[in-house]
Amino acid sequence: MIAEVPLSARGVRVRFGEREVLAGVDIDVRSGEWVSLLGRNGSGKTTLLRVLAGLLRPDQGAVLLGGDPMAGLGRREVARRLALLPQSAPVVAGLTVRQFVRQGRYAARGPLGMLADTDDPHVREALRATGVDEWADSPLDRLSGGQRQRVRLALALAQDAPVLLLDEPTTFLDLRHQVEVLELVRALQHERGLTVVSVLHDLAQAARYTDRVVALRDGVVHADGEPGDIVDSQFLRAVYGVSGEVLQITTNGLLKTIVVPD
């Protein structure tokens, strides 16, 4: 099932008490593209991602997943169409990497199917694609932060869903592991034709890796477009409230963005 627009939001409003965090957001994520959600803290980007993932029900509006209203889909059906890598998770003791990644097959196999401890090609493939197969039988709690993030990505991939949502996937990682994770996601996007939506804090990384940026301000979409077209000093001021220069250079067809605050 690959719809032209696998994921979209229509007039989404979310209110936390008095504060309206999302005040009518429309977004269409096209098949095979990587969209990054940008904005300052409190702009509503993480809330939007949680709404798109179905973790949070909007007070108004709807999320369409593969053309169907998400509210009408069962949780397992949602999981077959969409996988999420949440920002932080408890460290799970007593599980090996393979046992952990295997849990991603719950939606496809059902609770009784999970009882049979059979070899699953999707688990093997997810371990291979993220390069964690050499630690497959190691306990998860022995891995480093960077390794663990790859394993968590493998868990999401094992769901074999066409849409992948990432909530700040590079937080808590050093620069090398940040680049590693972003490169990995891009490779998966191209190899598997995945549609990716991520919340990213680093403007330069968002511009470098993602096809499209959607900037939120005060709960609405402030700017939406290709990073080369819209990320400039005006964008910096409007979205982050920072005055400074944005330099963009293209080498070997790759767009590189340098942000220099005044």
To other proteins, the closest distance from the beta carbon of 192 in angstroms equals 17
For residue 11, give the 3-state DSSP assignment. strand
Cβ distance to other proteins smaller for residue 107 or 203: 107
Residue 247 CB coordination number (10 Å): 11
To other proteins, the closest distance from the beta carbon of 141 in angstroms equals 12
Terminal alpha carbon distance of the chain: 48
Q: Does 169 bind other proteins (CB under 8 A)?
A: no
Helices (H), 70-226: 75-81, 97-102, 106-113, 121-129, 145-158, 175-192, 203-209
- The interface mask with other proteins, positions 185-214, x = CB under 8 A, is ------------------------------
Residue 150 CA: distances (Å) to CA of 138, 160, 170: 14, 16, 11
Burial class, 174, CB count within 10 angstroms (exposed 0-12 / middle 13-18 / buried 19+): exposed
The first and second tokens of residue 45, run together, are: 């980007």
Q: Does 147 bind other proteins (CB under 8 A)?
A: no
To other proteins, the closest distance from the beta carbon of 200 in angstroms equals 18
Selected range binding other proteins among 38-46, 143-151, 153-161, 191-199, rule: CB under 8 A: 153-161
Q: Does 112 bind other proteins (CB under 8 A)?
A: yes
- Bridge pairing between strands 212-217 and 34-38: parallel
Q: Does 128 bind other proteins (CB under 8 A)?
A: no
Cβ distance to other proteins smaller for residue 112 or 249: 112
Q: Does 125 bind other proteins (CB under 8 A)?
A: no
Selected range binding other proteins among 104-112, 121-129, 130-138, 237-245, rule: CB under 8 A: 104-112
For residue 41, give the 3-state DSSP assignment. coil
Q: Does 76 bind other proteins (CB under 8 A)?
A: yes
Range 19-58, binding other proteins (CB under 8 A): 53-55
Please name the helix (run of DSSP H) or strand (run of DSSP E) that holds residue 45, with its range, or none. helix 45-53
Taking the C-alpha atoms of residue 195 and residue 28, their distance in angstroms, rounded to an integer, is 11
To other proteins, the closest distance from the beta carbon of 107 in angstroms equals 3
To other proteins, the closest distance from the beta carbon of 151 in angstroms equals 11
Give backbone dihedrals phi and psi of 127, rounded to 5 degrees, phi first. -65, -40
To other proteins, the closest distance from the beta carbon of 106 in angstroms equals 5
For residue 200, give the 3-state DSSP assignment. coil
Please give the residue ranges that form the binding site for other proteins (CB under 8 A): 53-55, 75-76, 78-80, 83-86, 89-90, 92, 94-95, 100, 103-104, 106-107, 111-112, 114-115, 152, 155-156, 159
